[in-house]
């Protein structure tokens, strides 16, 4: 089956710290991979994506590389800001009828000034 | 920009009531989805629809039904609300050609 496992949260960091949120997946075939972000009181927004092995997705200073050999898609940012405080979801896309997403459990990130 | 709207941000209902959650998208997307979001469980797919009047069960359809009479609108129905359906409900849409899903702001439903 298809599944996504994310690093347990919550994660608390100081401003300008380096961030890594781990994500590993199990899937048949080669799914597309996504990171979504949910700011307080809002729905999910697409943060970045990668559609094939070794692709690097990037947006707003965040990066993630699709690693087929380790079935991973870890999210990184070199210097976090208070405004990055949110819940982050890793997801993979698979085809069953429509193209559907399966999500990890989410990681709550809090950045302190 | 794609816009997905949901009829209510917050809703409080009593046990046994019939509840309707409405979702509208303005980008002519073929696919629409209903998820529920619970702490520690991430998002779980309730139902999805890939065309008007077409629907398929997701991972947790029990206690829910859906309706898609028009392409832009997808409704989630709780036939007889129960306290274990207290949750955040998120609607999403996507096109078949570009499968990224776009989400609405969510409806936080409390069943008392």
Give the model's pLDDT for residue A99: 80
Q: Distance (Å, rounded) from C-alpha A19 to C-alpha B95?
A: 32
Q: Measured at the alpha carbon of residue A62, what is the angle toward residues A58 and A67, in degrees to the nearest 5?
A: 65
What percent of chain B is modeled with pLDDT above 90? 86
Give the model's pLDDT for residue B99: 74
Q: Please determine, for residue B75, whether its predicted confidence score (pLDDT) is greater than 70.
A: yes
- Report the candidate in B72, B75, B40, B76 with the shortest Cα–Cα distance to residue B61: B76
Q: Look up residue B85 and give its DSSP letter.
A: G
**Is the Cβ of A7 closer than 8 Å to some Cβ of chain B?**
no
Q: Going residue by residue through chain A (113 aa), what tens digit of pLDDT does each one get?
A: 889 999 888 999 999 999 999 999 999 888 999 999 999 888 899 999 999 999 999 999 999 999 999 999 999 999 999 999 999 999 999 887 678 899 999 999 999 99
Residues 57-76 of B with CB under 8 A from A: 58
Burial class of residue A34 in the structure, from the number of CB atoms within 10 Å of its CB (0-12 exposed, 13-18 middle, 19+ buried): buried
Q: Which residues contact B84 (CB under 8 A, 6 or more apart)?
A: none
**Of B41, B49, B101, Cβ closest to residue A101:** B101
| Least confident range of A7-16, B63-72, B79-88 | A7-16
| Residue pLDDT, tens place only, B35-65 | 999 988 889 999 999 999 899 999 999 999 9
**Of A41, A103, A105, Cβ closest to residue B40:** A105
Q: Which residues contact B85 (CB under 8 A, 6 or more apart)?
A: B63, B78, B109, B111
Q: Distance (Å, rounded) from C-alpha B8 to C-alpha B62?
A: 22
Q: Please indicate whether, in this complex, the C-beta atoms of A42 and B106 are within 8 angstroms of each other.
A: yes
Q: Sort out which chain A residues have CB atoms less than 8 A from B40's CB and list them.
A: 105
Q: Please determine, for residue B100, whether its predicted confidence score (pLDDT) is greater than 90.
A: no
């Amino acid at each position: 089956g298809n599944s996504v496992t994310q690093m347990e949260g919550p994660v608390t960091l100081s401003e300008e710290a380096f961030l890594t949120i781990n994500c590993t997946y199990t899937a048949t075939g080669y799914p597309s991979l996504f990171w979504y972000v949910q700011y307080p009181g809002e729905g999910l927004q697409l943060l970045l994506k990668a559609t094939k092995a070794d692709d690097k997705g990037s947006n707003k200073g965040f990066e993630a590389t699709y690693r087929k050999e380790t079935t991973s898609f870890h999210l990184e940012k070199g210097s976090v800001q208070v405004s990055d405080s949110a819940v982050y979801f890793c997801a993979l896309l698979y085809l069953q009828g429509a193209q559907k997403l399966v999500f990890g459990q989410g990681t709550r990130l809090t950045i302190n000034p | 920009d794609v816009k997905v709207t949901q009829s209510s941000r917050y809703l409080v209902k009593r046990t046994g009531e019939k509840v309707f959650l409405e979702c509208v998208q303005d980008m002519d997307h073929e696919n629409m989805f209903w998820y529920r979001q619970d702490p520690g469980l991430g998002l779980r797919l309730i139902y999805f629809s890939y065309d008007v009047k077409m629907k398929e069960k997701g991972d947790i359809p029990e206690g829910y039904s859906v309706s898609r009479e028009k392409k832009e609108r997808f409704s989630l129905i709780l036939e007889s609300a129960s306290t274990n359906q207290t949750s955040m409900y998120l609607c999403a849409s996507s096109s078949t050609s570009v499968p990224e899903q776009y989400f609405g702001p969510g409806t936080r439903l409390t069943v008392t």
